[in-house]
Amino acid sequence: MKPKTLSLTALLGGLLLLGIAFVETTDLDAAAFRGAGIGAVLGVLNLIVGLQFARSSIKGEMDGALKLMVSGFFARGVILIGLVLWFGRIEAIDATGFALSFMAFFLAYLMLEVRMIDRALRARRTAS
């Protein structure tokens, strides 16, 4: 399977699972949608900033690019867990809605990152 098809399939499957999880695990009240909205905004911000860093890191050595991407993945995971724990203490925001919404954009970011790495590796192979 081509990386483009694999990335798209994984993204759509993941989004479907996250959508089902959202409907099944939240009360679909104002707090859930508030949490999902905050997660979406932070997810879009993560997507924009992350892609800029990924583009610049891929231009250099691939070892450095992979280290940056893995460390970014870890940092985003720590931030996500911290925010979920914090929102879990706040009654006005549903931590589950936030986490699932953020994860949807996080998954999209990872799939775009896979595509970028694949393109960079293909370009380097053809240049060699």
Average pLDDT, 10 consecutive residues per value, the chain (128 residues): 78 88 88 88 82 74 72 80 81 82 84 80 78
* Closest alpha carbon to 115 in 48, 56, 58, 67: 58
CA distance 63 to 49: 20
pLDDT at residue 49 in the model? 80
| d(C-alpha 110, C-alpha 99), whole Å | 16
d(CA 91, CA 95): 9
pTM above 0.75, yes or no: no
Mark 5-18 as b/e (b = at least 16 C-beta within 10 Å).
eebeeebeebeeeb
- For residue 29, the SS3 value is coil
Confidence (pLDDT) at 62: 67
> pLDDT at position 71, please?
78
- For residue 109, the model assigns a pLDDT of 83
